[in-house]
Amino acid sequence: MNRSTIWHPFTQHALEPPMRRIASTDGAYLIDEDGNRILDTISSWWVITHGHRHPKIMTAIRAATEVYDQIIFAEFSHEPAERLAEGLIEIAPPGLKHVFYSDSGSTSVEVAVKMALGYFHNRGEPRDRIVVMEGSYHGDTIGTMSTGERGVFNAAYEPLLFGVDRLPYPEAGGEQETLDRFEAFCRTGRVAALLIEPIVLGAGGMKIFGAHLLATLKDIAERYGCLVIADEVMTGWGRTGTMFACEQASITPDILCTSKGLTGGAVPLAATLATAEIFDSHLSTDRRKTFFHSSSYTANPIACAAAVANLDIWRIEPVFARIQRIETAHRRNLARYAGDARFAHSRQAGTIAALDLVVPAAGYLAEAGPRMRRLFRERGLLIRPLGNVLYLMPPYCVTEQEIDRAYDAIDEVASIVLRDAA
């Protein structure tokens, strides 16, 4: 087979074989060109919620293509966007009142940062600092790379990145240091917003912290007049057990970012939700206070129609019962590793489960990662470790037997990798 001219994401082509082509998708499975069924235990990078090609979403997409393609959203609106915005406000934490559309998780966060800075600029308040948590990931645009963890991912682009203030990750027993550091930043009077992945840091290693810490951070922000931006791109749509992770802390962020599961994972779309106060700071007869942001495909009607269908699925189908079944299966399987010296830091938040393979060279570039990934693929499983961090985040249609199968493979593959490394 001739090597493809495609440049794939997060892929070192000098080390990887030619990509297998996927011929079709079905429920929790990818079917490759040879008919092999691959269990998608990571929801194709965390986007597929209900399962691949959910009939209701596919039907909505087909129907939308009969009447829509792209419509300039700076000049017009359309029914799918209006219905979706109403539905998002209905399910979002109370107090969020306005919806701004974009087309990816990265852009939804970029929009949020610009909203926060614009809010203070338009009010004539000189606040220009964004506070983030160490180990966080918010996207791959210049702005979102600036707010994410610095390292191998973005070292080449360092001259383009702006500075942010970083909180230490709240390891068990170290939560007060995180809170004290945030309050110290706030006392400077320069903090515009805290940008945070609530409850779970995704690409940073599936690290999980308590909802009480998130609630206290919000209290501190309110005391000093700072905004809180919740990056729910990964944590939203039931992944942590509630529709949005913020619900577990009983907080409403000033700005909430969502993408990935917004359309059930079928097509790209993102939304940034904001309070009326933030919207009103940009509402003026002075055109210089306009929120200057857009993308060519803002509020694509076909994507919005898919998202409206996704909302209907959440209303009609027993999605949370499926989520609870996955949570139970994770807990049962993670229990088998209690006291197992091969693994450390077993953890879970809703449908997300993770544990660290104990290897001498840990971290994202750990050689154990690519080795495990290849062994999983040989066993018909899409499990993509973050270095030595193994995690599962399956679509909600997955069965308990399929989850058991994934854990059986983790057990087997871990032993092979550790044996070969000895």
Beta pairing partners, 31: 24, 37
Least confident of 107-121, 142-156, 298-312: 142-156
% of the chain with per-residue pLDDT over 70: 100
pLDDT value of residue 153:
86
Q: Which two tokens stand for residue 279?
A: 């919207």
Q: Which two tokens stand for residue 174?
A: 């170290």
Summarize pLDDT for 23-78 with one digit per residue, the tens.
999 999 999 999 999 999 999 999 999 999 999 999 999 999 999 999 999 999 99
Summarize pLDDT for 172-181 with one digit per residue, the tens.
899 999 999 9
Which domains occur in the chain, in start order? 57-316 (3.40.640.10), 318-421 (3.90.1150.10)
Q: Which two tokens stand for residue 287?
A: 């055109």
Pair 134, 207: CB distance under 8 Å: no
171-186 burial, b at 16+ Cβ within 10 Å, e below that, comes to: eeeebeebbeebeebb
**Rounded average pLDDT over 382-396:** 97
Summarize pLDDT for 231-288 with one digit per residue, the tens.
999 999 999 999 999 999 999 999 999 999 999 999 999 999 999 999 999 999 999 9
**Rounded average pLDDT over 83-100:** 98
**Rounded average pLDDT over 80-91:** 98
Q: Say if residue 1's pLDDT is above 70.
A: no
pLDDT value of residue 339:
92
CA-closest candidate to residue 248, choices 238, 234, 260, 262: 238
H or E stretch covering 153: none
Tokens 């209905």: give the residue: 90
- Helix, strand, coil shares, percent, the chain, to 5: 40, 20, 40
Can you list the pairs that 123-129 forms with residues at least 24 positions away whose Cβ atoms lie under 8 Å? 123/281, 126/190, 127/189, 127/190, 127/191, 127/192, 127/226, 128/190, 128/192, 129/164, 129/165, 129/185, 129/188, 129/190, 129/191, 129/192
CA-closest candidate to residue 333, choices 402, 237, 233: 402
Q: Say if residue 2's pLDDT is above 70.
A: no
pLDDT value of residue 420:
87
* CA–CA distance, 110 with 178 (Å, rounded to integer): 24
- Taking the CB of residue 207, how many other CB atoms lie within 10 A of it? 22
Whether this model's pTM surpasses 0.95: yes
